[in-house]
Amino acid sequence: MTLATEIVFLLEQILNGLLMGVYYLLIALGLSIIFSLGGIVNLAHGAMFAIGAYLMVQITDLAGYGIAFISAPLLVGALGMLVERLFLRRFYKADPVLSLLFTFGLALIIEQSLRMIYGASPLQFNIPEFARGLLVLGDFMYPYYRIGMLSVALIALFLTWFLLHKTPFGKVVKAGVSDPDMVRALGISLTPILTAVSGIGIGLAGLAGVLLAPISGVHPAMGQEILTAAFVVVVIGGLGSFWGVVLAALLVGVIRGLTTYFYPAASEASLYVLMLAVLLLRPRGLMGERMDRLE
Amino acid sequence: MTRQNQTTDLTKRKLMVGAAATVAAGMYAPSLVRAQAKAIKIGHLTPRTGFLGPMGEYAMMGATLAMEEVNAAGGALGRPLEIMFEDSVNPKTASSKAQRMVERDKVDFLVGEISSSSGLVISQVAARAQTMFLQTGCNSDELRGKNCSRYMFHLEANNSMYVNTIGQEMLRQNMVKGKKWMAFTADYAFGHDLFEKTKRFMDANGAIFISNDMVPTDATEFSALILKIRQQNPDLVMSNLAGNSTTNFMKQYKEFKISIPLAGADLNAVSIWGAGEGSFQGVWPIVWTHQVNAPSAKVFTKSFTQRWGRPPDNQAVGDYLAIKMLTQAMEKTKSTDTETLIRYFESGVKFDVLRQREGYFRAWDHQLMFEMYTVQPVIGKPTSQWDVMQTSAAVPGPTVDLEVLAPTKQQNACNFG
């Protein structure tokens, strides 16, 4: 193998890692904004990702791929708002441990419910015919479906960024993150904002489930498998920072991809080594902001 | 109504009540007697969650069906069977639950398990308590060799049997001598043992070993590994993965349209069904499928499908057979005594193992000997979502000794002590 070919292969792995990072980002971003605004450590986030995948399979059977693709993330987002209105809002002023315990219990209930309804076996669900095939550019090859996933994920992330940074809604969210009492004192109710943020964050997890359903198994424990990586991304990126989470997700994707290439047995451990290194050098995460109520 | 008529009516009513009571007593007496008889308790441990969870679900369905059939036929020795099901989760939990089952719940037998690591610790608990353990899903050769136990019997094939089954098929396809093999292996006891047997087969038959990568058991994303396969361009990719990982690997292998032949040294039907028509590919060894052409297999498949609404997988068979074999042993020996039953199993007695040929336990390592199969994608349109694979004829062939697939005493010595 020539050096040039080696370099192309390595670049291919780095690009693949970056793409994987975008999938982590979809999940981690929701976790980050829900925690930043409401102080909720949402351990049920992975379960919502799983619900997204199951809805995708179910709705595709009933109404076709296109309708499922649009409706499943919206339904998960609506479920997120319902969960916030019924349960999460009771924990905003409580000890964070309580919300952690509640969402842990909720995750277990959702996982077991999926197991009872659909069984423990993975559901059959494959990439739709129209999205199969490979993009070939010289030595570089990549599946169309993954390129499509990347495009959809990037659009979703851009819209989230736009909403949080360029609209009046986003300004209230940012103000609510840094000083919720002052926002309330100005006569702005954070209650509907918190509901909307939960809907957006959990809807992003649902979208990730929809996108990943055809390439990874759809089974009850799928949420658990991805949740740990998402938390690592949030911790590395730093709380309250959109770009911190983006940077961390891409970094985790690349490090994991390269470790898988050079030494697969350490691919899981590589995440934690990276987290350890970042926390030792910068305990607030790469771009974490100081939040008085969390200090 | 006259007084006489009243008397007649009362007499009739008494007669009717009496008759009804008699009929009811006749109908329910056997079950009352059975309920009064002390149940034979079986502790069933298997992973119900995690990457082996899907197989564990089938294990439970198989054992439940067997228990229901035995109890409907009057139980064993006139006593009903009662199975206590527990999720074994991981070796630590499996050990403590097995301990609780033998000490607190006083189970008569232990059955189940899929993880070789958990199987080992359960066998240690069983040996200390002198309780029989019929393991139904652990593949590691070491459980039958270095870590064998007089109280443990193996209804699952060992890794050597799997490797030799797929090896025979690879030799037939001329995919061994001088061919470059690249392997991926689940990073736990089962995988390590399976790779060792795969490597032994490669070395013995002239295959060229390129590389083996250990893969964490909870890995879901294989794109980096698949890119590596494309870069290294072997003649054959050999999967030693397990559980849900196998399904994900197959789906993503198809997604990247890799044309390099794929084979595996271990497979469960749930992995095939999870991958489905669009993604199932390669040639794999398997202990049993619902397509096996044997009369008892067809009856079992029909009963299972009626009971659970879907056909049985290979794991369901192991747990079903364990309960049926225990019942046969108790009935034949008229005993539940552990030593008596061990001697019965070691006697070479034949069991209907839902295949063409009957099976038997080898006395020196307690491995059940039975026919194996290979599976590959069906040619043409599958007749159902369950029939995306086609099952080969039995391996070894009808005139060949069943033991040719299994390791010899010299290869995997077992000392019961």
Q: In this structure, what are the phi and psi dihedrals at residue B365, rounded to the nearest 5 degrees?
A: -135, 5
SS (H, E, C) chain A: CCHHHHHHHHHHHHHHHHHHHHHHHHHHHHHHHHHHHHCCCCCCHHHHHHHHHHHHHHHHHHHCHHHHHHHHHHHHHHHHHHHHHHCHHHHCCCCHHHHHHHHHHHHHHHHHHHHHHHCCCCECCCCCHHHCCEEEECCEEEEHHHHHHHHHHHHHHHHHHHHHHCCHHHHHHHHHHHCHHHHHHCCCCCHHHHHHHHHHHHHHHHHHHHHHCCCCCECCCHHHHHHHHHHHHHHHHCCCCHHHHHHHHHHHHHHHHHHHHHCHHHHHHHHHHHHHHHHHHCCCCCCCCCCHHHC
Q: E strand or H helix at B120, and its extent?
A: helix B116-129
**pLDDT tens per residue, range B205-215:** 999 999 999 99
pLDDT at position B150 over 90: yes
pLDDT at position B387 over 90: yes
How many CB atoms are located within 10 Å of the residue B278 CB? 19
- 8 Å CB contact of B57 and A120: yes
Residue B131: band (very low, low, confident or very high) from pLDDT cuts 50, 70, 90:
very high
**pLDDT tens per residue, range A249-284:** 999 999 988 898 888 888 888 999 999 999 999 888
Higher pLDDT, A181 or B399: B399
Testing the interface with B: which of A126, A136, A224 to mutate, by most B Cβ within 10 A?
A: A126
pLDDT at position B18 over 50: no
SS3 state of residue B210: strand
Residue B22: band (very low, low, confident or very high) from pLDDT cuts 50, 70, 90:
very low
SS3 state of residue B264: strand
- 8 Å CB contact of A126 and B54: no
Mean pLDDT over B366-378 rounds to 97
pLDDT cut 70: percent of chain A above it: 97
A contacts of B257 (beta carbons < 8 Å)? 133-134, 143
Testing the interface with B: which of A8, A16, A121 to mutate, by most B Cβ within 10 A?
A: A121
pLDDT at position B221 over 90: no
pLDDT at position B398 over 50: yes
pLDDT cut 90: percent of chain B above it: 83
Higher pLDDT, B221 or B393: B393
pLDDT at position A142 over 90: no
Distances (CA, A) of A255 to A250, A264, B50, B136: 9, 11, 25, 39
Testing the interface with A: which of B51, B114, B188, B221 to mutate, by most A Cβ within 10 A?
A: B221
- 8 Å CB contact of A268 and B219: yes
Q: In Å, how far is B252's CA from the nearest CA of chain A?
A: 6
Domain B40-157+292-371 and domain B160-286+373-402, same fold? Reply is yes
pLDDT of residue B1: 39
The region of weakest confidence among A174-178, A228-232, B52-56 is A174-178
Q: Could you tell me which of A235, A246, A249, A205 has the C-alpha nearest to residue A17?
A: A249
**pLDDT tens per residue, range A16-29:** 888 889 888 999 99
pLDDT of residue B36: 55
Residues of A (211-250) whose Cβ lies below 8 Å from B? 214-217, 219-222, 225-226
pLDDT of residue A224: 86
- C-beta of residue B55 within 8 angstroms of C-beta of residue B313: yes
pLDDT at position B343 over 70: yes
pLDDT of residue B254: 93
**pLDDT tens per residue, range B170-187:** 999 999 999 999 999 999
pLDDT of residue A196: 95
Supply the DSSP symbol for B279: T
CATH 3.40.50.2300 assigned to domain B160-286+373-402? The reply is yes
- Write the DSSP assignment of B355-399 as a string of letters: SSS-BEE-TTT-BEE--BEEEEEPSSS-SSTT-SEEE-S-BS-TT
pLDDT of residue B372: 97
pLDDT of residue B164: 96
pLDDT of residue A183: 87
- 8 Å CB contact of A146 and B255: yes
Testing the interface with B: which of A57, A124, A259, A268 to mutate, by most B Cβ within 10 A?
A: A124
pLDDT at position A195 over 90: yes
Distances (CA, A) of B88 to A229, B158, B312: 25, 21, 21
Residue B146: band (very low, low, confident or very high) from pLDDT cuts 50, 70, 90:
very high
- Domain spans of chain A, in order of start: 3-294
pLDDT cut 70: percent of chain B above it: 91
- 8 Å CB contact of A121 and B278: no
Distance of CA A8 to the CA centre of its chain: 29
| Residue in A closest to B270 by C-alpha | A121
Q: E strand or H helix at B229, and its extent?
A: helix B223-232
CATH number of A3-294: 1.10.3470
B contacts of A225 (beta carbons < 8 Å)? 218, 220
A contacts of B56 (beta carbons < 8 Å)? 120
A contacts of B220 (beta carbons < 8 Å)? 216-217, 222, 225-226
Residues of A (99-118) whose Cβ lies below 8 Å from B? 111, 115
pLDDT of residue B11: 45
Higher pLDDT, A7 or B369: B369
CB contact set of B241 (below 8 Å; sequence gap of 6+)? B184, B185, B186, B191, B215, B249, B264, B266
pLDDT mean across residues, chain B = 91
Q: Could you tell me which of B302, B63, B88, B51 has the C-alpha nearest to residue B187?
A: B51
The region of weakest confidence among A100-109, A228-237, B382-391 is A228-237
Cα–Cα distance for residue pair A168/B278, rounded to 1 Å: 47
Out of A124, A146, A221, closest to residue B276 by CB: A124
How large is the C-alpha radius of gyration of chain A?
Answer: 19
Q: Which fold has domain B40-157+292-371?
A: Rossmann fold (3.40.50)
Out of A16, A121, A215, closest to residue B251 by CB: A215
pLDDT of residue A180: 82
Mean pLDDT over A75-91 rounds to 95
What ipTM, to 2 d.p.? 0.84
pLDDT at position B216 over 50: yes
pLDDT at position B341 over 70: yes
Mean pLDDT over B248-264 rounds to 94
